[in-house]
Amino acid sequence: MGLPELWFVIVAVLFVGYFLLEGFDFGVGMLMPIVGRRTGIPPDVRRRVALNTIGPVWDGNEVWLITAGGALFAAFPDWYATLFSGFYLPLLIILVALIVRIVAIEWRAKIDDDAWRRRCDWGIVFGSWVPAVLWGVAFANIVRGVEIDAQKQVVSSFFDLLNPYALLGGLTTALVFALHGAVFLALKSADEIRGDAVAIAARLAIPAVPVAGAFVLWTQIAYGTGWTWILVALAAGALLAVVALTRMEREGWAFALTSVAIVSTVTLLFASLFPNVMPSTLDPEYSLTVANASSSPYTLGVMTWVAAFMAPVVVLYQGWTYWVFRQRISTSAIGRSHGLKFTS
């Protein structure tokens, strides 16, 4: 394996980590309007419980996206440039949604007003649903290929990106992230909130299985290779097991298996893409590959040494954060403040 191939794997790992960790953040935000609705708990209290489950970790999870984007820019500048030339509008919408979500979470407690908090809550919902859908649409189009000309410019229109395969990818990421978030809520909450999260997860697992199954099967048949059938089996088997585990209220195992499903699916996308990084549907000669889109060997070499020293530090620190804030959160742990009250 040469340095370009190594950095393709590193970029894939960074996006796997992002979707795995940010996936349950998105899911929690997506479910904020409905979680605990039938429990009789005041809306503000149950929403604060939901926010506290991700409060200590959500911003750290987003670092994976920043790192993935930086690695993509440095290791594969042509891939980065072509991607943004053709996916500018959807990526801009994702960025705006993420900014709205960040501002809503951080500023929710700044004004002691119910109307203000409701607007912030809807900002969190918007900032969770939109990226959850559009990331699936974007990555499905990357695997499927777009119209790239000889100048490495994407000439497809925005509406060309809204093809059936990409829309199925967007529906898949939305459903799986919502399921992942519901299971995480059940794992991290107590009392009535936990019970309601378990019930939501059990209901979400039913549509998530056929939709995600159809997407990974389509990906495998159209773009996969022989060995990637293993990833299809892992993703499908994990989601099928989640259906039973959520009904048994085994949220720990259910969360482990939604994680397996996400890791397997994202790995399948990158494995189906290799050795291309952006296939061209106009002419295979115009496709960007690991070889023709990468930086110089010197640049990749320096990046490799930096990553070798820094990556373990970042992973250990984030793991320590999850360990410190591992306890469940109950309604009794929420104080009078309307903001995030991180409990350990």
Indicate which CATH number applies to the domain containing 102. Answer: 1.20.1630
Nearest in space to 314 (alpha carbons), one of 11, 80, 62: 62
Contacts (Cβ under 8 Å, ≥6 apart) of 141: 87, 161, 163, 166
Residue 295 lies in a domain: no
φ, ψ of residue 329 in degrees (nearest 5) = -115, 130
C-alpha of 303 from chain center: 25
Calpha distance 259→45 (Å, rounded)? 28
Say what the pLDDT of residue 112 is: 83
DSSP single-letter state for residue 152? S
Summarize pLDDT for 281-312 with one digit per residue, the tens: 888 899 999 999 999 999 999 999 998 988 89
Residue 328 lies in a domain: no
Say what the pLDDT of residue 235 is: 94
Residue 213 lies in a domain: yes
Which pair of tokens denotes residue 157? 């229109």
**pTM beyond 0.85, yes or no:** yes
Distances in whole angstroms, Cα of residue 195 to Cα of each of 39, 90, 172, 199, 312:
9, 36, 25, 6, 37
Residue 241 lies in a domain: yes
DSSP single-letter state for residue 32? T
Whose structure tokens read 């998105």?
A: 26
Residue 325 lies in a domain: no
Number of domains in the chain: 1
Are the beta carbons of 141 and 100 closer than 8 angstroms? no
Residue 313 lies in a domain: no
DSSP single-letter state for residue 292? T
Calpha distance 332→334 (Å, rounded)? 5
Mean pLDDT of the chain: 90
Q: Residues 9-45, buried b or exposed e (16+ Cβ, 10 A)?
A: ebbbbbbbbbbbbbbbbbbbbbbbeebbeeeebeeeb
Say what the pLDDT of residue 335 is: 55
Summarize the chain as % helix, strand, coil (round to 5). 75, 5, 20
Specify the range with the lowest mean pLDDT, choosing from 48-57, 89-98, 139-148, 265-274.
Answer: 48-57
Summarize pLDDT for 69-128 with one digit per residue, the tens: 999 999 999 999 999 888 999 999 999 999 999 999 989 888 888 888 889 999 999 999
Structural domain for 140, as ranges: 3-278
Say what the pLDDT of residue 325 is: 85
Residue 148 lies in a domain: yes
Say what the pLDDT of residue 337 is: 47
Mean local confidence (pLDDT), 126-133: 96
Distances in whole angstroms, Cα of residue 330 to Cα of each of 49, 71, 253, 275, 286:
7, 39, 21, 48, 55
Mean local confidence (pLDDT), 319-324: 88
In the predicted model, is pLDDT for residue 336 greater than 70?
no
Say what the pLDDT of residue 13 is: 95
Mean local confidence (pLDDT), 187-197: 88
Say what the pLDDT of residue 176 is: 96
Helix (H, G, I), strand (E, B) or coil at 277: strand
69: number of Cβ within 10 Å = 16
More confident residue, 340 or 215: 215
Are the beta carbons of 11 and 75 closer than 8 angstroms? yes
Helix (H, G, I), strand (E, B) or coil at 154: strand
Residue 293 lies in a domain: no
